[in-house]
Amino acid sequence: MNKIVNLYKPKGPTSFDMVQTAKKILGVKKAGHIGTLDPMAEGILPICLDRATRIIQFLASLAKVYQAEMVLGAATDTQDATGQVIATGNPENITEEQIRSVFKDFTGEQTQIPPMFSAKKNKGIPLYKLARNGITIDRKPVSIHIPSLEFIKKEGNRVEFEVHCSAGTYIRTLCHDIGRELGCEAHMGRLIRTQVGSFGLKTSLTPEALGKAVADGTVSSRLIAVEEALSFLPEIRIKKSFISSIANGIAPSKSSLETFPRQFKPGMNLRVSNVSHPLLAIVEPVVDQDAFAQLLPREVAFKLKRVLI
């Protein structure tokens, strides 16, 4: 059970509710989700189980894909359909061409102000708790990246689209901001997360399907191994004689390496493996590839961030 379940969250429950559901179905003591989904949203919610919770921090920055519905003509205080209308506009003359044009403006590197009704914290307090008490505070713009924002269809004042975005992007804020740009106000009417990194719809399980897999004994084959979940990270391989050193928390020296990426730099995460062990640890370079070439054999090239053996 030290794996990841690619759970499909239905509308209604919170992400925390789904973690508790997974723990109950699978009988595990520890679990944690990757990327929060609001109660009104549905879709992919990967949940790390037991010892797999140790890799959550390395999966938190995975890119996301969403299919969403934007409702033109009204902005709400929550920026979605659960809130109270705070501004209105006339969407009757908004065309598909105008929407496609504005979508282009919201593609690429962007900044976004996190909504008050969000789990983002200020001095340890979630913003939504402040908002529920009528408190609004200034929020600093956050840098996000939207590689693609694709128009699907428009029916009346409802616009369906698909967005590929970086972690930390609020789709309801995106709808709100697009509505302002179009001059007619807007909010998010529906949201489905279809992908989190390599976690997609094909491997996802509803709570009901997860329970069935437990009952028929196939659950282990339906879960995702930690090494598979981290396969997107660049890899370094170490010599067999250094495996015990890694297990004891000793950072790998230059002489311990068999293979390593051509390019790397401080701030990156890399996975450490060996022929007999697909995943030993996660490390961060202490130097870039140019400085690495100048290191002596016994000098440390990578610092340990998490031992996984």
77 is catalytic: no
Structure tokens of 143? 């840098």
- Given the residues 38, 80, 138, 290, select the one marked as catalytic: 38
Query: How many residues are there in the chain?
Result: 309
Catalogue the active-site residues: 38
